[in-house]
Amino acid sequence: MPVTQPAHPGQHRPQPQPHVIVVLTDQQRWDTTGAHGNPVGVTPEFDRLAREGTLVEQAITPNPVCAPARAALQTGRFPTATGVFRNGLPLRAEVPTLAGAFAAAGYVTGYIGKWHLAGEEHPDGPVPAERRGGYRHWLASDRLEFTSDAYRTVVYDERGEPVRLPGYRSDALIDAAIRFVADHHERPFLLFLSLLEPHHQNATDDYPAPEGYRERFEGRWLPPDLAALGPGAAQGGAHRHLGGYLGQIKRVDEGVGRLRDTLRSLGIEDDTVLAWTADHGSHFRTRNGEYKRSAHEASVRVPFVLTGPGFRGGGRIRRPVSTVDLMPTLLDAAGLKVPDGVHGRSLRPLVGGGDEPDRPASVFTQISEDVIGRAVRTDRWKYVVTAPPGSDAWHEQAADRYRETELYDLRSDPYELENLAGLTSHRHVADGLRDALLAWLREVEGAAAIVEEAAPRTLGQRSPDAFPADRVPWHGVRFGHA
């Protein structure tokens, strides 16, 4: 029998708790979607979700690195509170999780795809039961990019046994998701579908789209920020990769359409909350030596849409929010209690044009691995600080001292080309954003860090503290590029 929510005054009967599906893509920029203005028609299904449901216009990841972002999505906590501040670290078993909360409420819980939270002492594929974040049904690899390629998908079941799934990789995982839904739809379920696409294939540094899909999108679109940065070796890499990158997203979008067809055919579409987001974006090696790990929009801003009960017809949430809000939002939608200590806040008060006056105007992001960095983003401004050179970003999750390195006016400079850090004309803006950052540090990290002002300069003079554009992560490709 379905689990039901308690009746509220005026209700004639209890409402069944919804099924919940999360679709997570890997390294997908927000501007790949038509709902965000992409002109080439890659995401008709995402765009349909945005029209029918609720589109989060400015969704920001809590950390533009794979494992930290994923830990935050599972727990509603920023990475430094989960124990996963960089790749290769396990999600601590004592941290309450999305799956744990839903399982306690009687939900069937399932996880399919890439996990990346088992810790580097474990093999790439199998994940011990105690490291699965509370999910019971399991068909996943810890680092799917190392146990699969485009047409050879190997995941592991609840017993840790390898399972070879046929078909193109995202199709194979979505087919498994369809089987899960068909098998469990008579009870409330939580399904977390974690795809690798459109992440690059590490061993080849390529974006292997299905046959014929790369060709459909080659040369058709260049992200405006990359175009604005001008010609160069990095842009050449983006031109080379974008056809495959967009082709991967196109196939994922088609697969999500098939998954929604399944919900319709089983008669549960109206009873299913579906959320689609990404762990982080990609700047295609334009801002540093790899694909992400910077506070730039291309790295931290992601697509995010919700539909189903509580979100259908919700319009647009226009203010910036964090994807750390996903976990409490889904619990709220199911009428479940949000665990103590969660940093995120439910987005439901913002649906349909609603407001939440006490919600912070800024969004907080932690940067890790290459540098120890922190950032806040408002509707207009981006403010970034980093720990001094020589800080051990691989072993230390935070610093007690930072220095201002970047300030961007996103209204007049949406592609973040003019770093305003250190300009006396913007000192008052930086001071206000520094106060907001310090408040986030106190709330999230319990830290009373010192933030030094950027060296004063005049317009046109490069900031000596700016994040170096050519820095390459020192810790290597295995975890760093995941």
Please identify, among 325, 353, 381, the residue that sits at the C-terminal boundary of a domain: 353
- For range 440-453, the mean pLDDT: 95
As a whole number, mean pLDDT of residues 381-389 equals: 96
pLDDT computed for residue 122 by the predictor: 87
Q: How far apart are CA 226 and CA 285, in angstroms?
A: 10
304-307/19-25 β-pairing: unpaired
* Residue 263 shares a structural domain with residue 401: no
Q: pLDDT tens for residues 16-43?
A: 799 999 999 999 999 999 999 999 999 9
Q: Is residue 456 part of a domain?
A: yes
Q: Are residues 295 and 367 in the same domain?
A: no
pLDDT of residue 210: 96
Residue 470 pLDDT more than 90?
no
Considering the domain architecture, whether residues 396 and 328 belong to the same structural domain is answered as no
Is 346 found in the same domain as 368? no
In a domain, 1, yes or no: no
Given this model, what pLDDT does residue 89 score? 96
Residues 134 and 235 in one domain: yes
CATH number at residue 30: 3.40.720.10
Kindly state whether residues 331 and 399 are assigned to the same domain. no
Length of the chain: 482
- Which one-letter amino acid corresponds to residue 323? T
Is residue 319 domain-shared with residue 408, that is, in the same domain? no
Decide if 258 is inside a domain.
yes
Predicted pLDDT at 280: 96
One domain, residues 418 and 313: no
Question: Half-sphere exposure of 150 toward its Cβ, with a 13 Å CA cutoff?
Answer: 19
Residues spanned by the domain of 155: 19-353
Average pLDDT for 238-261: 95
Shared-domain flag, residues 382 and 340: no
What single-letter DSSP state applies at residue 131? G
Residue 55: CB partners within 8 Å, gap ≥ 6?
35, 49, 304, 305, 315, 316, 317
Residues 152 and 272 in one domain: yes
> Each residue of 403-442: pLDDT tens digit?
999 999 999 999 999 999 999 999 999 999 999 999 999 9
- Confidence (pLDDT) at 304: 98
pLDDT range class, residue 235, cuts 50, 70, 90: low
Domain boundary (301, 318, 353) is at 353
Per-residue tokens: 96: 């309450």
Residue 14 lies in a domain: no
Tell me how far CA of residue 407 lies from CA of 137, 300, 377, 439, 458, in angstroms.
Answer: 45, 15, 10, 18, 14
Last residue of a domain, one of 297, 323, 353: 353
What integer pLDDT is reported at residue 287 of this predicted model? 83
Same-domain status, 369 and 340: no
Domain at 420, CATH number: 3.30.1120.10
Q: H/E element holding 272?
A: strand 272-278
Number of folded domains in the chain?
2
Predicted confidence at residue 246, as pLDDT, reads 97
Which residue's structure tokens are 């799956």?
Answer: 99
Per-residue pLDDT of 157-169, as tens digits, reads 999 999 999 999 9
Tell whether 375 and 306 lie within a shared domain. no
Residue 257 lies in a domain: yes
For helices 44-52 and 233-265, give the axis angle rounded to 10 degrees. Answer: 60
Section 353-380 average pLDDT = 95
Q: What is the mean pLDDT of the chain?
A: 91
Only one residue has tokens 């997908």, namely 28
